[in-house]
């Protein structure tokens, strides 16, 4: 039966209000995104991921002393217990990094000093959140090393979250200032985005009075799908298929003619362009210019023009992130785990907000199955 037969039903819950939050706001008409009232562009350009994490978790921007103290706490919580690396080493080599990361956080829960606290303890939840955020970059980078048959590298306490992640990814070589800034800005842009699929799933989990780690594990599992976090990986595979700027226009027009899904374009929340993509597009193309490799940016220019002309669609944040990360030498199947490094902040903030004023999330559904079916004894079936 058509969904239109039910006036109170919206497929995919589109347009349905699922709750009230003070964490972020998406303004579709103005193509803007704010974290606790502050424009995300200002945070990405003028601030840092650590400032953004503090803002999301504590509700305000830190002053200088608060930021330094927060950075010190993050640095001291950045290392991962050796037992977690032992778990990761037992996984099959073909395990997707998102599955490995989900497993790591599940195992990590019992090591948290606040493991036995009740799930509604606000202060304990904030402490858990800080540990979850601090360890994400280390888990992703060293999880990749383990998958490559290499030993983990100790994270650097004197670097930012972005810098320490790149340090491990580069085999113990510190990244330059611009590269670190690009990674830092991308983490800020990916940190939070309202009641998206993974965040809502996280809130549903903790609303049962489960804990933050369970919420993060749920978030990772939800984010893995190509219609959510996996879109940046698919966007890069698409760019690789196009291969050269000369192929771009013919490829995109053929794809449109054959109704092929174009990854990295359009967004349910933004009708006039994804605000996050605007800044990251500039940065991604600047990376190419600095490296003397403008191929991906040139392909992107063509795809952006044709998609706007033919479909009135703008790129979302996953599109520039795809070739920005590729230019930085990040393996494609780590793009979504990098998303996790950022989004742990948003998930944790939402989990804390949910638990601070909790109500079990339990929507209704519409039954369209048969009625009055008689039970037939097994000997007669």
List, by residue number, the catalytic residues.
267, 318
Q: How far apart (Å, rounded) are the C-alpha atoms in residues 25 and 32?
A: 8
Place of tokens 């950075």: 71
H helices of the chain, in order, are 40-46, 49-58, 64-76, 82-89, 97-108, 122-147, 161-169, 177-190, 197-206, 212-223, 231-242, 245-257, 275-291, 295-311, 318-327, 335-356
Token duo for residue 267: 């967004």
Q: How far apart (Å, rounded) are the C-alpha atoms in residues 243 and 249?
A: 12
Place of tokens 């113990």: 172
Nearest to 117 by CA among 378, 366, 352: 352
C-alpha count within 13 angstroms, C-beta hemisphere, residue 335? 27
3-state secondary structure of 32: strand
Nearest to 187 by CA among 334, 27, 74, 48: 48
Q: How many residues does the chain have?
A: 381
Helix axes 177-190 and 49-58, enclosed angle (nearest 10)? 20
| Residues 299, 248 contacting (CB under 8 angstroms) | yes
């Amino acid at each position: 039966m058509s969904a239109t037969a039910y006036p109170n039903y919206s497929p995919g819950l589109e347009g349905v209000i699922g709750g009230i939050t003070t964490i972020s706001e998406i303004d579709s008409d103005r193509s803007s995104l704010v974290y606790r009232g502050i424009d995300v562009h200002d945070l990405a350009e003028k601030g840092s991921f650590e400032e953004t994490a503090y803002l999301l978790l504590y509700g305000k921007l830190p002053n200088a002393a608060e930021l330094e103290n927060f950075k010190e706490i993050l640095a001291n919580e950045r290392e991962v217990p050796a037992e977690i690396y032992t778990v990761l080493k037992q996984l099959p080599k073909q395990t997707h990094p998102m599955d490995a990361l989900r497993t790591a956080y599940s195992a990590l829960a019992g090591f948290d000093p606040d493991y036995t606290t009740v799930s509604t303890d606000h202060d304990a939840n904030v402490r858990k959140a800080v540990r979850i955020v601090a360890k994400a970059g280390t888990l992703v980078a060293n999880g990749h090393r383990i998958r490559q048959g290499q030993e983990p590298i100790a994270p650097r306490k004197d670097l930012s979250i972005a810098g320490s992640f790149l340090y491990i990814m580069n085999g113990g070589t510190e990244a330059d200032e611009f590269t670190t800034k690009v990674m830092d800005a991308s983490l800020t842009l990916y940190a939070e985005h309202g009641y998206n699929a993974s965040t809502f799933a996280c809130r549903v989990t903790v609303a049962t009075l489960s804990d933050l780690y369970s919420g993060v594990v749920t978030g990772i599992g939800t984010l893995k799908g190509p219609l959510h976090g996996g879109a940046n990986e698919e966007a890069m595979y698409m760019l690789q298929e196009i291969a050269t700027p000369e192929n771009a226009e013919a490829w995109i027009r053929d794809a449109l003619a054959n109704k092929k899904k174009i990854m990295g374009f359009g967004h349910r929340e933004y009708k006039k362009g994804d605000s996050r993509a605007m800044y990251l597009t500039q940065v991604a193309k600047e990376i190419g210019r600095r490296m003397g490799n403008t191929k991906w940016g040139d392909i992107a220019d063509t795809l952006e023009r044709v998609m706007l002309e033919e479909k009135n669609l703008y790129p979302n944040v996953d599109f520039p992130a795809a070739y920005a990360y590729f230019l930085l030498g990040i393996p494609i199947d780590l793009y979504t785990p990098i998303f996790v490094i950022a989004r742990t902040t948003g998930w944790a903030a939402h989990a804390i907000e949910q638990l601070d004023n909790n109500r079990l999330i339990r929507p209704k559904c519409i039954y369209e199955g048969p009625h009055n079916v008689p039970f037939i004894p097994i000997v007669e079936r």
